[in-house]
Structure 1
Amino acid sequence: MPVPSASAVHVRSLLRDDVYLSLREAIVDGTFAPGERLRDSELESWLGVSRTPIREALLRLSRAGLVIARPGRATIVSPLDDPATLHAQQVASAMHELAARLAVPLVSEEDVDAMAAANERFATALEADDADAALAADDAFHAVFVERSGNTMLADVLEQTTPLIRRVERVRFASLAARESVGQHRAIVERTRAGDAEGAAALARENWLTLARTLGD
């Protein structure tokens, strides 16, 4: 039988992922507001792609809780939903706890220095009220444990849950809870330098549960 072109498969895969990531980022950063209707024709014009990858991306976003698909009617951006966010946060906190427990025995001094530097960028961004920079720095901080854990399934689960959390964090990033994370990060770095995997894991879990105190405000 004819052998399909591998490069074409890769191009299609990359296209689907690019469309999904573009739409996800637009929802997380508020470009598409809660309750806004997403029309295929407008998305096609914006992204410059056909309807098929857009529908595939919207299906993935629906599974992640970021859009609500109403067959035959409309697809809308999900409202900010405290219960759904709390559920995502519970899963994410458990995954980050596990990542810390697995990673601390494996991290290098350079890894720990990178975490400390990311936290300084995080603090600076919060002082400047720069939500984009703060979220990027926070992602960089926690990515060290996820990458060093050696468990690739952690990243897959977090890819599903984190956007829902980040969406709410962006709205409430001026809260005291966000500033509290700076100190929590420093404590995690200290426990990591000391080789205390259980201590770092407990702190990582608490750090990801901080948002629960702001939900419903």
Structure 2
Amino acid sequence: MPVPSDHPPVDRSLLRDDIYRRLRDAITDGTFAPGEQLRDGELATWLGVSRTPVREALLRLAQGGLVVARPGRSTVVSSLDERSTRDARDVVAAMHELVVREAVTHFTSADLDAMNDAARRFAEALDARDIDAALRADDELHAIPVTVAGNRAAAAVLEQYMPVLRRIERVRFASADGLRSPDRHDELIRLCAVGDTDGAAAVAFDTWHSLPTSTA
């Protein structure tokens, strides 16, 4: 689709990370479709910034696998390549297993309450078929173990590879398999609450490793 013309520009004082996130989200929510060419000039106009931070954001997106940069030619949104998706899924699953394993003995009651609240909102969003709200709640829930673990290396890896899976998550949450996700969340929280490190880590791994690697 063409670059949207009705989106408010980004405040020029915002950091380059915000530009990266805007472009990342436009790819993962389908605003920019797989195979679509991304022109830095058009994107800069859309976002209300210069071309330099847009180019930097596109380089980050290429490193994460969301775009394919062809030097001197063009930058296009990547397709849902099964191999790339599988690789990202395996890495993300391992990182979530790791942070849960590190976080279990450090959870406070407030952390568990926050996870339960996010799980509740996730289930309600799925029932309402509000995929965007479900994704936000899911992000909040899984971000808590990442924060509690405090493993900055794992957090950086997740920041890079989670976006690759976002389009696949949308497919899952709109499918019958997605309706089982609230049960996975409830089991994860229960195991965390009783201090079952191995059990909670296994559920965290399976939650992500069970993602499909294609939309077929």
Query: Counterpart of 1:67 in structure 2: which amino acid?
Result: V
State the Cα distance separating 1:13 from its structure 2 match: 9.7
Indicate the larger mover: 141-150 or 166-175: 166-175
What is the RMSD computed on CA atoms of the aligned residues?
1.7
Q: Which has the larger radius of gyration?
A: 1
- Which structure 2 residues correspond to residues 117-136 of structure 1 after superposition, within 5 A? 117-136=117-136
1:51 to 1:216, Cα distance in 2 relative to 1, 3 A: closer
Q: Once superposed, which parts of structure 1, at least 4 consecutive aligned residues long, lie more than 6 Å away?
A: none
- Which structure 2 residues correspond to residues 1-217 of structure 1 after superposition, within 5 A? 14-212=14-212, 215=214, 217=216
CA-to-partner distance for each residue in 1:73-122, whole Å, 9 max, x for gaps? 11110111222111111001000001111101000111111111111111
Query: Counterpart of 2:25 in structure 1: which amino acid?
Result: E
Cα pair 2:171 2:215 within 8 Å, conserved: no
- Cα distance in 1 for partners of 2:205, 2:162 equals 14
State the Cα distance separating 1:14 from its structure 2 match: 4.9
- Cα distance in 2 for partners of 1:201, 1:14 equals 37
Identity of aligned residues (%): 56
Q: Which residue of structure 1 lines up, in the alignment, with residue 7 of structure 2?
A: none
- Cα distance in 2 for partners of 1:199, 1:48 equals 48
- Cα distance in 2 for partners of 1:121, 1:152 equals 27
Instruction: State how many pairs are aligned.
Output: 206
State the Cα distance separating 1:20 from its structure 2 match: 0.9
Cα pair 1:35 1:76 within 8 Å, conserved: yes
Query: Counterpart of 2:32 in structure 1: which amino acid?
Result: F
- Cα distance in 2 for partners of 1:138, 1:172 equals 12
**TM-score normalised over the length of structure 1:** 0.90
1:172 to 1:102, Cα distance in 2 relative to 1, 3 A: closer
Query: Counterpart of 2:36 in structure 1: which amino acid?
Result: E
**TM-score normalised over the length of structure 2:** 0.90
State the Cα distance separating 1:172 from its structure 2 match: 4.0
State the Cα distance separating 1:216 from its structure 2 match: 5.4
Q: Which residue of structure 2 lines up, in the alignment, with residue 7 of structure 1?
A: none
